[in-house]
Structure 1
Amino acid sequence: MFDLIMHAIPVFAVCLFLEAVSFYFLPDDDERGYELRDVRTSLAMGVGNVVVNLGWKLVVLTAYAAAFAIAPLHLPADNPLTWVALFFADDLAYYWFHRTHHTIRVFWASHVVHHSSQYYNLSTALRQSWTPFTSMPFWLPLAFLGFSPWMILLQQAVSLVYQFFIHTERIDKLWGPVELVMNTPSHHRVHHGSNQRYLDKNYGGILIVWDRLFKTFEPEGERVRYGLTTNIDTFNPVRVATHEFAAIWRDVRTARTWKGRWGYIAKGPGWHPDAP
C-alpha cells in the first residue's frame, strides 16, 4: 500500500534544512529558532514513531478491514463526493482524538511527547509518540460508515503532512479568510503554548472550524511560551516518551482511594483529589 508519509520524508528534510538556514541568514529575536540537542530529540522521537508504526499499522488495518467488512454500505472510492465526505469526517475524528488526548491523562501521557519541546519549528512536528495505540477508536467509526481502510489511512497521512508545515514561527498570520477556516501556523502556535490563555485550545487538524464550533478556539495574541506548564528539561528520548506514564504510576501507587486512582488515570492532566 502507498505510504504517503514515507514518501514525504525527503520533502520534510529539505524544508527543515531550509528553515534552519533561514534563521542563520534572517535571525529574529522574537523567534526561538533551533537548538541542536532539541532537534536530535525530535528526530529520535520521529524515527521511533515510524518503527513502532511498522507493526501497529497492521493491527489498525486489520481492525478497519473488519469494520468495513460488516459496514451496511461501501462508499465508492471513484466518487469525488466520497473523498469530500472523508475529508470532513477524518478532520472531525482528528479534532476529538486530539481534544481527548489533552483532557484524559492516560491519553495525554502518549500525546505529551509532542508538546515537550520548548522550541517551535518544523523539527517539532516530528516529535511524535512511541505509544500511538489510543488513536484507533476515533477513526474506526469511519470504516463502519463505509469508507475503505486504505482511504482512511491515506486521508490520515494527508492530514499529518499538512500539519507538518504549520509547525513554524517563520510564517505570520495569513489572509483573513484562510485564518477563519484553516488551521494555520498562527493557530497551531497557540495550541503549543503553555500560557494560561492558550491551554487546551485549537485542536484542529487541517480545519479550525471545529474549534470555532465547539468553543475551543483562541487567536494568537501575547507571545507564545512553548513547552509544558512544568517542563521536563531533558533531551533523553526514552524519558520524553515515558515520563508521564511514570508520573501516572507514581500517583496511582500513592493514592489512598480507588476514586483517586481512577482520577489520576482518567481525569485531566494536573488533577489531584484535593483539587476544587
Structure 2
Amino acid sequence: MSKEKLTLDQVLSLDLPNIILFAAPVMIGLVALEWFLSYKEKKDYYDGKDTIAATVIGLVNVAMSAGLKVITFGVILFFYNLVPWSFPNTWWSFVVCLFWLDFWRYWAHRISHENRFWWATHVTHHNSEKYNWSVSFRLSWTQHIKIIFFIPVALAGFHPVMFFIVHQLAVLYQFWIHTEYIDKLPRPIEYIFTTPSHHRVHHASNEKYLDKNYGSTFIIWDRMFGTFMPEEERPAYGLTKQVKSYNPLTLNFHEWADIFRDVKNSSSLKEAFAMVFTRPSELQEMKAKFKEKERVKV
C-alpha cells in the first residue's frame, strides 16, 4: 500500500520553528565569551573586523534560509512524494536520517572543494585567517543551491519535517567544532565524530592539510574514503591565495567574479567550461595549459 502524498500546505501548516534562529543569541553570546577570553589571555584568535564581517554574513544567511524555507520544503517534498515508501516517525528513524544526511553532506562538502563552481558556494567559509566560533557564521549566500545534494534523503523516504529538523541540528553541530580552545578529545570520540581538531585541519592552508576532513558530524566518511588527516602542527588558516577584505559582499562573491572574468577571457567553449568546473587547486595549471596552446597556435 502506497503512502499518502503530502502537500506543501500540510507541511508548512506545522509552522516548524527555525532552530538555528533560536540558537543564534546563544551562539553570539559564546562568541563574545571566546573573544573576551582570547583578549584576556593575549591569544591571537580574533580579529574584530573579521568577526563583524562573519556575523553580518551569518545573520543575512539566517534570514535567507527563512525566506527560502518554502522552496527548500518544496524541493524535498516533491522528491519525497515520488517514492511509495517512507520511514516511520520513530526515534531510530531520526538516527538513520542523521547518518544518511551526513553521508550526503560529506559528498556535498567534498565536491565543494573539488569543483570550482561549487567551491564558489563554499569559499566564504574558508576566507578567514582566524579560527574561532564566529567562523561558523561564514556561510555563503549562494550555498542554498546545494539543496540538490540532499535529494537522496527525500528519496530514501524520510519525512520532510524529519529532514528539516535533522538538517538544522547537523548545521548547529558545526558551531562547536570551530574553536582552538578545545584540544583533541578521547580516542573513541575522535574516531567517530568530527571534532575541533579534525576541523582545524580542514580549515588549514598548509599543503599537507589541503582537502582533508570533510565530515560534518561524523569523521567516519573521511576514514572510509581516504580523506582523513590527523592534526599535527598548528594549522595556518585561510586560503592559499588569501582575499584581503572584510566586505561581506566581496567575501561572498569574489570567486563568482573571478569565474565570470575567466570565462569572459576564454578563447573557446572548452576553456570556458574548464574555468567553471575545474578543480580549484588545479586552476593555475589549467590556465597555463590553455595559454601554452594559444601560444603554439600563434
| 1:82-105: CA deviation from partner (whole Å, max 9, x where unpaired) | 112101101101100100111110
State how far apart, in whole Å, the 1-side matches of 2:64 and 2:91 are: 33
Amino acid at match of 1:179: E
State how far apart, in whole Å, the 1-side matches of 2:224 and 2:57 are: 33
Deviates more, 1:261-270 or 1:188-197: 261-270
Asked if the contact 1:110–1:129 (Cα under 8 Å) also holds between the matched residues in 2, the reply is yes
Partner of 1:61: 73
Asked if the contact 1:65–1:149 (Cα under 8 Å) also holds between the matched residues in 2, the reply is yes
Determine whether 1:210 maps to 2:221.
yes
State how far apart, in whole Å, the 2-side matches of 1:210 and 1:122 are: 24
State how far apart, in whole Å, the 2-side matches of 1:82 and 1:47 are: 31
State how far apart, in whole Å, the 1-side matches of 2:91 and 2:58 are: 33
| 1:186-213: CA deviation from partner (whole Å, max 9, x where unpaired) | 1000000011011110000011000000
Number of paired residues? 272
Deviates more, 1:100-109 or 1:266-275: 266-275
Asked if the contact 1:107–1:134 (Cα under 8 Å) also holds between the matched residues in 2, the reply is no
Amino acid at match of 1:5: I
Asked if the contact 1:173–1:185 (Cα under 8 Å) also holds between the matched residues in 2, the reply is yes
Give runs of aligned pairs for residues 130-169 of structure 1, distance below 5 A: 130-169=141-180
Amino acid at match of 2:164: L
Equivalent of 1:35 in 40, 43, 47: 47
Equivalent of 1:72 in 75, 81, 84: 84
Partner of 2:295: none
Partner of 1:51: 63
Partner of 1:9: 24
Amino acid at match of 1:34: Y
Amino acid at match of 2:88: P
Gaps of 5+ in 1: none
Equivalent of 1:21 in 36, 55, 70: 36
Q: How far 1:275 moved relative to its partner?
A: 5.0
SS at match of 1:274: helix
Asked if the contact 2:204–2:238 (Cα under 8 Å) also holds between the matched residues in 1, the reply is yes
Per the normalisation by structure 2, the TM-score is: 0.88
Partner of 1:196: 207
State how far apart, in whole Å, the 2-side matches of 1:167 and 1:183 are: 11
State how far apart, in whole Å, the 2-side matches of 1:201 and 1:110 are: 18
Amino acid at match of 2:57: M
Amino acid at match of 1:91: D
Partner of 1:89: 100
Determine whether 1:220 maps to 2:231.
yes
Deviates more, 1:183-192 or 1:253-262: 253-262
Partner of 2:288: 274
Q: How far 1:273 moved relative to its partner?
A: 4.1
State how far apart, in whole Å, the 1-side matches of 2:112 and 2:289 are: 20
Q: Percent identity?
A: 38
Give runs of aligned pairs for residues 246-257 of structure 1, distance below 5 A: 246-257=257-268
